[in-house]
């Protein structure tokens, strides 16, 4: 199978020692270096800050919630959902993950089902490191978390392809984790018309949306669909992040 470099990535070890991927070439002509999937301040820490804590909140409010993840990447968010569900002894009704790079979906499934012999050693090692950091300071075993996720990702077909302007949504979701690349890399994902359709067709009446971004198009779309928009402190040196909430009884 291909290596990270074959896919156009390099491994970056972030400040909390967890790994992330960085594009070898920038798709933004104004920047010298390619975009990273996570902040250099800590890939695992950032994921828990933005998504893991929100997953825990949703799991505490609704039975068998449905989650949408925009950007499978290395599986950090999916592992966070699994960790929080196991901690609460809760079940998850659905995890729908979108990923535009097919090989990342294939890598994740091969690793998740312990078919590491099909992966280059350096690829399998990155996923092992991700899991190690996701489960740090928890008593959950690697086997337990993988078993949980296998119920949602049996084959590579269980990971959706790119989220496109004409995507037909398969459910309504209680938790959205919008971790797509920036608007300069994936402009259609941040287009206000698309975001309005996403929320109109795929958001449950009780719903939380979390993202690292503070885009005006997103905030307007959220408000247009009855979400309370909460501008949170950004992770590390980022200026902010966004949480949209709708319909929860305690709000």
- pLDDT tens, residue by residue, 130-186: 999 999 999 999 999 999 999 999 999 999 999 998 999 999 999 999 998 777 777
Average pLDDT, the chain: 93
The pLDDT assigned to 151 comes to: 97
- In degrees rounded to 5, what are phi and psi of residue 125? -65, -35
Domain ranges of the chain: 42-246
pLDDT(57) > 60: yes
| Diameter over CA atoms, the chain | 49
Whole-number Å distance between alpha carbons of 30 and 126:
29
Cα dihedral value 112, 170, 89, 153, nearest 10: -10
Cβ 46 vs Cβ 212: under 8 Å = yes
At a CB cut-off of 8 Å and minimum separation 6, what does 157 contact? none
**Length, in residues, of the chain:** 251
pLDDT(28) > 80: no
Share of the chain above pLDDT 90, in %: 81
Instruction: Render 23-45 in DSSP notation, one character per residue.
Output: ESS-SSTT-SSPPBSS-TT-HHH
The pLDDT assigned to 251 comes to: 39
The pLDDT assigned to 240 comes to: 85
Whole-number Å distance between alpha carbons of 215 and 211:
10
CB-facing half-sphere around the CA of 86: CA atoms within 13 A = 20
Tell me: domain 42-246, CATH 3.40.50.1820, correct?
no
pLDDT(74) > 60: yes
At a CB cut-off of 8 Å and minimum separation 6, what does 41 contact? 14, 15, 16, 235, 236, 237
Using 50, 70 and 90 to split pLDDT, how confident is the model at 249?
A: low
The pLDDT assigned to 208 comes to: 98
């Amino acid at each position: 199978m291909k290596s990270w470099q074959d896919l156009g990535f390099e491994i970056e070890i972030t400040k909390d020692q967890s790994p992330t991927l960085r594009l070898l070439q920038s798709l933004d002509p104004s920047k010298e270096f390619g975009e990273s999937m996570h902040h250099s301040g800590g890939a695992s820490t950032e994921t828990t800050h933005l998504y893991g804590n929100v997953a825990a909140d949703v799991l505490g409010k609704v039975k068998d919630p449905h989650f949408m993840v925009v950007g499978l990447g290395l599986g950090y968010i999916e592992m966070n959902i699994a960790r929080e569900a196991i901690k609460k002894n809760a079940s998850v009704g659905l995890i729908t993950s979108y990923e535009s790079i097919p090989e990342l979906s294939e890598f994740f499934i091969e690793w998740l089902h312990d078919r590491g012999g099909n992966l280059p050693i350096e690829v399998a090692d990155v996923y092992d490191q991700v899991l190690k950091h996701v489960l740090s300071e928890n008593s959950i075993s690697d086997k337990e978390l993988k078993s949980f996720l296998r119920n949602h990702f049996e084959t590579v077909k269980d990971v959706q392809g790119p989220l496109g302007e004409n995507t037909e949504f398969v459910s309504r979701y209680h938790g959205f984790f919008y971790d797509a690349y920036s608007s300069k890399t994936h402009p259609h994902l941040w287009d206000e018309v698309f975001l309005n359709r996403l929320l109109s067709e795929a958001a449950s009446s009780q719903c939380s949306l979390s993202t690292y971004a503070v885009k005006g198009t997103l905030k307007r779309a959220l408000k247009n669909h009855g979400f309370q928009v909460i501008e949170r402190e950004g992770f590390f040196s980022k200026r902010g992040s966004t949480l949209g909430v709708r319909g929860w009884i305690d709000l």
